[in-house]
Amino acid sequence: MTGLLHETIGSMLERQVAQFGTKEAVVYAKENIRYTFSEFDKEVNRVAKALLDLGVAKGEHVAIWATNVPEWLLLQFATAKIGAVLVTVNTNYQSTELEYVLKQSDATHLFLINGFKGTSYPKAFLDLKKKGDQVSKGKCEFHDLPHLKNAIFIGSDPHPSLMSWDEFIHCGFSITEEDLEKRKSQLDPDDVINMQYTSGTTGFPKGVMLTHYNILNNGYQIGQCMKLTEADRLCIPVPFFHCFGCVLGTLAAFTAGATILPIIEFEPKLVLKTVEQEKCTALHGVPTMFISELNLPEFNSFDLSSLRTGIMAGSPCPIEVMKKVMNIMNMKEITIAYGQTEASPVITQTRTDDPVDSRVNTVGQALPGVSVKIVDPITNVEVDSNQVGELCTKGYHVMKGYYQMPDATKQVIDSDGWLHTGDLAKMNESGYVQITGRLKDMIIRGGENVYPREIEEFLYTHPAVQDVQVIGVPDEKYGEIVVACIQLNDKKSVTPADIVDFCEGKIARYKIPSHVFFVEDYPMTASGKIQKYKLRESVVKWANLHSGVE
């Protein structure tokens, strides 16, 4: 199959069940949980029926705030089977960000685990309650979240205020196979099925609306580039809430009939142990994950001879790291993928048989069915080969738009359907692309997109802050780190540590500035605009002279 798939995610799964029913589909090695394709589909149907019993309508938004637990996978496919939109919530979010996503997405149900990295999710959620709001046995009444009906707890230690997962599943017993089939018959591949929040190119996070057709075909094409088959076993330590996990991981594998081996929370030793014990043939990761694995003191004690391929993506891939992964980790056919959430997400990818030079120095060629052009960002005229310009893309993979943000959508998708990525790139005569920089100010820290304005708006709420500019500066470990340059009010006296303390527990850790500098003024243009690129140059110099705040 080389064309595009014209089906829903649910029908794809059922097609694979018919072909690979008794073969392993999902393996959680550490937790000793194993599903064949048939068993997984049966569990998905139970969850789908429970959602129907809760009254979830086609097109309704269901949010999930969880690590890579089995229930995440079940909900990904169950929501797809009933035509609900899965709203994926970043596991690093805190209460302020959770409230924003629930409100902006009009989510009617929230599924959440106990927590992640010291953050209690039930507490963060219940902290959203204001006077008059109520949460009882999962039933929600929030004045500021009028759409939210239920909160369901995923885990073996139920929370007293929330509906337990077992109670939720029990709801589905009254729903028949005919009820489920009736809903499935109403679905269309062009229905929106997934919504992920990204900062895009401007403003606060936006809900990227992706369809069955968008992400199913993107996953399929990604798997084809890796030459995945039913013989492959893919270890997925990257988070499901990102496209990296739920498209480049789950859908790329399942469309090929391959087995997935998710890691609930990334631990380098656990990843290598899983690869060795389960004879994984493929492994995904952002560069920092591969660096952590390679730097493990006991790295050489693991047998990684089963590995063949995988994907390194999420932030620029260091050439030396790529070479080590290919040679020391035995991933001779590893690929690099480039894209953004608005593109489902992959736009270009290297192939397993590309020359080594192309696989370490470029982000590959456009996927089949995907068009790419490089244009002058001022005139929008296509530039010549090997000339730098803005990368634009068009095809089956381009999002439907940002949820309830038509103006923001028009800013990135032009009248001819081209998505303007905001990334600077050049393309050679053979179609291989090199990313050279960004038009936008977005910071990519360890694979996480960070939009400065969001942090700036938050820091403005500190009483000592008069003005603030947030920028990204290069960092060996994370690719980029967040730096805040702050003008203080005359009457206020605070330290960089005070600013960091103010952020703790209110915004995600990866958004908290690694360095805080207090400045008298900013470099300005004649028209009064702040020149962030000059500020960035100054900060790089300052960073060498100041210890900052880590």
Question: What pLDDT is attached to residue 116?
Answer: 95
- The amino acid that residue 461 corresponds to is T
* pLDDT above 90: percentage of residues in the chain: 78
Question: What pLDDT is attached to residue 460?
Answer: 85
DSSP, residue by residue, 235-278: EE-S-TTSHHHIIIIIIHHHTTT-EEEE-SS--HHHHHHHHHHH
Question: What pLDDT is attached to residue 314?
Answer: 83
Q: Which residue has the higher pLDDT, 302 or 453?
A: 302
- Indicate if the pLDDT at residue 525 is higher than 60: no
What's the mean pLDDT in 80-91? 97
> What is the distance between the alpha carbons of residues 273 and 269, in angstroms, rounded to a whole number?
6
Question: What pLDDT is attached to residue 545?
Answer: 58
Positive or negative, the CA dihedral 206, 207, 211, 212 is positive
Residue 493 vs residues 200, 342, 423, 498, 500: alpha-carbon distances, Å: 35, 42, 39, 10, 14
> Which of 110-119, 358-367, 516-525 has the weakest average pLDDT?
516-525
Q: Which H or E run contains 347?
A: strand 346-349
Question: What pLDDT is attached to residue 1?
Answer: 40
Who's near 513: CB < 8 A, 6+ residues apart? 455, 470, 482, 483, 484, 499, 500, 503, 549
Phi, psi at 473, each rounded to 5°: -125, 150
**Between 268-278 and 287-294, two packed helices, what is the crossing angle to 10 degrees?**
80
The two tokens of residue 187 are: 């679905």
What does the pLDDT look like over 450-463, one tens digit per residue?
878 789 889 988 99
- Indicate if the pLDDT at residue 524 is higher than 80: no
Question: What pLDDT is attached to residue 534?
Answer: 83
What's the mean pLDDT in 462-476? 89
Domains and CATH numbers, the chain: 9-258 (3.40.50.12780), 443-543 (3.30.300.30)
Question: What pLDDT is attached to residue 547?
Answer: 44
HEC string of 139-188?
EEECCCCCCCCEEEECCCCCCCCCEEHHHHHHHHHHCCHHHHHHHHCCCC
Question: What pLDDT is attached to residue 528?
Answer: 53
Q: Which residue has the higher pLDDT, 490 or 197?
A: 197
CA angle 48, 52, 58 (to 5 degrees): 95
Residue 497 burial by Cβ neighbours in a 10 Å radius (0-12, 13-18, 19+): exposed
- What DSSP character marks residue 345? S
* 227, 230, 234, 238 alpha-carbon torsion, rounded to 10°: 80
- Indicate if the pLDDT at residue 262 is higher than 80: yes
SS3 (DSSP) at 490: coil
Strands of 439-488, DSSP E: 443-445, 448-450, 465-475, 479-488
Positive or negative, the CA dihedral 313, 319, 322, 324 is negative
Question: What pLDDT is attached to residue 544?
Answer: 66
The pTM assigned to this predicted structure is: 0.86
What does the pLDDT look like over 379-427, one tens digit per residue?
899 999 999 889 999 999 999 999 999 999 999 999 999 999 998 899 9
What's the mean pLDDT in 203-230? 95
What's the mean pLDDT in 435-453? 80
Confidence of residue 491 (pLDDT cuts 50, 70, 90): low
User: Beta strands 282-285 and 309-312: pairing type?
Assistant: parallel
Q: Which residue has the higher pLDDT, 220 or 457?
A: 220
- Nearest CA-CA partner of 274 in 253, 293, 295: 293
Q: Which residue has the higher pLDDT, 541 or 133?
A: 133
Question: What pLDDT is attached to residue 338?
Answer: 96
Q: Which H or E run contains 311?
A: strand 309-312
What's the mean pLDDT in 321-346? 96
What does the pLDDT look like over 4-14, one tens digit per residue?
999 999 999 99
Question: What pLDDT is attached to residue 201?
Answer: 44
Q: In whole numbers, what is the pLDDT of the chain averaged over residues? A: 93
- The amino acid that residue 318 corresponds to is P
- Nearest CA-CA partner of 314 in 289, 343, 350: 289
Say if CB 454 and CB 204 are below 8 A apart. Answer: yes
Who's near 478: CB < 8 A, 6+ residues apart? 288, 315, 445, 446
- Indicate if the pLDDT at residue 550 is higher than 50: no
Positive or negative, the CA dihedral 150, 80, 185, 174 is negative
Say if CB 522 and CB 502 are below 8 A apart. Answer: no
Please give the radius of gyration of the chain, using alpha carbons only, rounded to the nearest integer.
Answer: 23
Question: What pLDDT is attached to residue 549?
Answer: 44
